[in-house]
Structure 1
Amino acid sequence: MMNNQELYQIAFIAVNHKKLRNLGTAGHVACALETMNGNVFTGICIDLPCSIGLCAEQSAIAEMVKHNETAIKKIIAVFEDGSILPPCGRCREFIAQMDDQNSQTKIVLPEMKEVLLQDLLPERWDSKWN
């Protein structure tokens, strides 16, 4: 299992801010996740002015799913200034819906604090189907 600092470094290295057309940007947030199988995947955000975008966590998860994995052991998102960002509500739900095991995903928060996803989403709307 990777420690938080190792996963942080992988995410921070993936930060690569790019300007896109019409005020769009990409890469100012990057994410690294470790799967239950021990593989690491990264992703970057894409923000477009028409409100279409993709969070770094979603990008990393798409890469993971492309490689036939869905269970996340640990995940971290890093801003271009090096600060750690908690996942937004949409990403929390996205992680939860990928795999039943993901309620136990360790979310790395600022100051390398860890919290389980289930603690960030305590009252599940879909609990009757689990």
Structure 2
Amino acid sequence: MTFEELYKMAKAVINPRKLSDDAEAGGVGAALLTDTGNVYTGVCIDTACSMGFCAEHAAAAAMITAGESRVVKMIAVDWDGSILPPCGRCREFISQLNDDNLDAEVMVAANTIVTLDQLLPYNWRKL
């Protein structure tokens, strides 16, 4: 599967909306491709007290729920269609779900793909 296909899948789940006076969701979509060829998507949930989570976390939760943990490609897309690199929390979170996830390809900008390992150059497990 190409990053163009993953981009379309991540963008398709974007649906910005207000959930309550204190929460919004759907402004960012993410898609994770696993080693078995399955794709899991998710959206961000933003809350007033910072207890929400990123779209990558939502996609990873769906992946874990389905019994998988190995990511081979991942992408996040903002509401305006721009590609977003994963935040530090998402980088660390996904790296810990499967030892091989450090080899996952991550699109961080248009035409820029790096590995998760490259996004975590001073990984605490390797020092």
Fold similarity call, TM over 0.5: yes
Paired AA for residue 15 in structure 2: N
CA contact (8 A) 1:4 1:112 kept: no
Runs of 4+ with >2 A deviation: none
For 2:81 and 2:125, the matched residues in 1 are separated by 35
Deviations 1:6-59 (A, max 9, x none): 000000001011102124210000000100111000000000011111100000
1:11 aligns with 2:10: yes
Most deviating of 106-115 and 38-47: 106-115
8 Å CA contact 1:96–1:103 kept in 2: the answer is yes
Corresponding position of 1:45: 44
Structure 1 portions without partners, runs of 5+: none
Matched residue SS, 1:20: strand
Structure 2-normalised TM-score? 0.96
Code of the residue aligned with 2:53 in structure 1: it is L
- Could you say what secondary structure the match of 2:21 adopts? helix
Q: Which amino acid aligns with 1:87?
A: P
Cα drift, residue 83 of structure 1: 0.4
Amino acid at match of 1:69: E
**CA displacement 1:69-125 (0-9 Å, x = unmatched):** 000000000001000000000000001100000010000111131100111101111
- 8 A contact 1:75–1:108 mirrored in 2: yes
The root-mean-square deviation of aligned C-alpha atoms, in Å, is 1.0
Q: Indicate if the aligned counterparts of 1:77 and 1:87 stay in contact, CA closer than 8 A.
A: yes
CA contact (8 A) 1:78 1:84 kept: yes
> Which residue of structure 2 aligns with residue 99 of structure 1?
98
Alignment partner of 1:125: what SS? coil
Unaligned runs of 5+ in 2: none
Say which structure is richer in helix: 1
Q: Whole-Å Cα distance in 2 between the matches of residues 74 and 56 of structure 1? A: 15
**TM-score under structure 1 length normalisation:** 0.94
